[in-house]
Homo-oligomer: A and B are copies of this chain.
């Protein structure tokens, strides 16, 4: 059996060549260069690989690549906008100059904007049945919009400015929504029923929330907003434990705890006992 390292490597290779071909269709110009730069700047491809692993276990017959690519593009777009001086003002991303440093802030803004259309177009141009196309675009919209990344980041800013905001409301939108969409998207591609889709969304959302809690626990004292300033570290760890247990139960119900999903979950959560 393949090791998880090989699984990551192979998956990344396949995804990257799909993404390369898609970027080529965009033509030339500054923002296309910026899009290419941002997409191929060393992303771990966690969300697409999570989708691939689910597709394998669920024995999804649809091609997973278009949805995987569109999720990764949205994720990358959110990082470009998030790094802007008017947001987190980060000059580096994964050890390389962020897009607004490599190009400029206007190009960074516009390339992030254009990537939202790019992601949606990849779904529309895919061979998915039309009903699945609309369901997947709706998931991308949710992950990107008021109840997704944009909404989560806006809540975080409100929290930074002193408004009392429940940290899990931020986690849910900022990180949970895209993970939730990956899971529900896997379910859509499998052809699952409404109730199962909702449960799948919840599993993904919870995985994202735990991932975000880890991030906060790592960065104590290092970022302007941290849920550890609301809850104590002890309280947060307790909440994390609850989320992990609750989510594992749901994961068990769907018999998902196999290679390669199990190993990926261990990596995302940094939990040995999964």
Contact = CB atoms under 8 A, between A and B. Distances in A.
A147 interface: yes
Interface stretch (A108-116, A209-217, A238-246, A249-257): A108-116
Contacts of A134: 124, 130, 133-134
Tell me the dominant secondary structure on chain A's binding face.
helix
A66 to B, nearest CB: 14
A31 B147 CA distance: 11
Nearest to A149: B113
A87 B106 contact: yes
Interface in A122-147: 124, 130-131, 133-134, 137-138, 140-142, 144-147
A149 B32 CA distance: 14
A141 B32 CA distance: 15
Name, among A26, A104, A157, the residue most crowded by chain B CB atoms within 10 Å (CB to CB): A157
Contacts of A87: 106, 109
A84 B81 contact: no
Name, among A86, A118, A130, the residue most crowded by chain B CB atoms within 10 Å (CB to CB): A86
Contacts of A117: 116, 140-142, 144-146, 148, 150
A11 interface: no
Interface residues of A, number: 50
Interface string A84-105: 1111000000000000000011
A120 interface: yes
Interface of A: 26-27, 29-32, 35, 81, 84-87, 104-107, 109-114, 116-118, 120-121, 124, 130-131, 133-134, 137-138, 140-142, 144-151, 153-155, 157-158
15 contacts: A26-B146, A27-B147, A31-B150, A31-B151, A85-B86, A86-B105, A111-B150, A112-B113, A114-B144, A116-B145, A117-B141, A117-B144, A130-B130, A130-B134, A133-B134
| In the complex, the 4 A-B pairs of residues with the closest C-beta atoms, listed nearest first | A117-B145, A86-B105, A117-B141, A114-B150
Given A106-B153, A121-B138, 11 more contacts: A26-B146, A29-B151, A29-B154, A31-B150, A86-B86, A110-B154, A113-B116, A116-B144, A117-B140, A117-B141, A121-B141
